[in-house]
Amino acid sequence: MRMWLCPRTRVPVGASALAVLVLCWIYIYPVYRPAGHQEMVREVLDFGSGWRRNRTALDSIRKQLDDCCDPVRLFSVTKQNTPLGENMWFDGEFLYSLTIDNAVYNLFPQDTPFKHPLKKCSVVGNGGILKNSRCGEQIDRADFVIRCNLPPLSREYTEDVGSKTQLVTVNPSIIDKRFQNLLWSRRSFVESIKAYKQSSIYMPAFSTKRGTEPSLRVYYTLADFGTNQTVLFANPNFLRNVGKFWKNKGVHSKRLSTGLFMVSAALSLCEEVTIYGFWPFQMDLNGKSISHHYYDNTLPVTGIHAMPEEFIQLWFLHKSGVLKMQLAQCTEEASPQKSQ
């Protein structure tokens, strides 16, 4: 079918009209631009160190998360929240689901293994701002420590990031890239996981089709080798609802980062939350260049996460006294924080 063209242009009429509509929309509703590095440094330095925990604000955000996402009940898949025969819809692929048969159902714990509420929690991101932070002891003083995506905890890093771990997340892509989907590298995977001792391994097994098999292989591998870890599968209903929650607050991305998922859970599961390594910029507060991670400078795939937007939301929670964000070097003794 022939397309009508505008005078002086090769662009189809329909495309031109769409472009005009988009420009009008941008004029009326300007595109939100996240704060840049320099703006955030000024904001952080101006705020200073006068942070105080605000119980009222924490109760408010916790109620919002409980109402939308029910982290206490839905954080992981259990026999209590996912009955045999349920058709479970994946959160990362709209048209794909899995019927829970006996083989899969038997992998689920009866109920969540965590005693609620947890007391003091550390959620540890992997940002380069942790390098030379000397935050290891402070992180490990928490009652419950959450880490993201199998970060290295060898001696060269423990002074900055600690070693204590109660829960560590594993993205199925890590199993593919580092351990060949456990088809040939089962023993090396088991050896690497020893650093996390008796922690829970948390995996989004039911987010995408490609992630299910690697996640189940992790479960079977650790069972075959008789390790001390427990494998928990993220509940796709929890992940989906948390994504909607933050989208409504201004985080526009294809998918939230693992870190923001974990902070969201911690705000409901823990009485006090301190986060470390959440700084998505290439320079620290002193203007010094830093690596993307505390252990390497591998950059993320673009177009998936909106890290500056996530940071702004977390920084707002810090300013509001909901959680504490540690960005500066840690002192020898972390002084107790007052509450409002």
Helix (H, G, I), strand (E, B) or coil at 98: strand
Element of type H or E holding 62: helix 55-69
Residues, the chain: 340
Q: Where are the extended beta strands (E) located within 154-236?
A: 167-169, 200-203, 230-233
Other CB atoms within 10 Å distance of the CB of residue 194: 10
Query: Both tokens of residue 180?
Result: 């060949």
Secondary structure class of 338 (helix, strand, coil): coil
Alpha-carbon torsion 59, 61, 62, 68, what sign? positive
Is the CB of residue 288 less than 8 Å from the CB of residue 238? no
- State the Cα angle at 205 between 200 and 206, rounded to 5°: 135
Q: Which of 37, 252, 305, 318 is catalytic?
A: 305
Q: What is the DSSP string of 248-312?
A: TTT--SSS--HHHHHHHHHHHHEEEEEEES---SSB-TTS-B--SBSS--PPPPTTS--HHHHHH
Judge whether 116 counts as a catalytic residue. Answer: no
CA distance 317 to 315: 5
Active site residues: 305
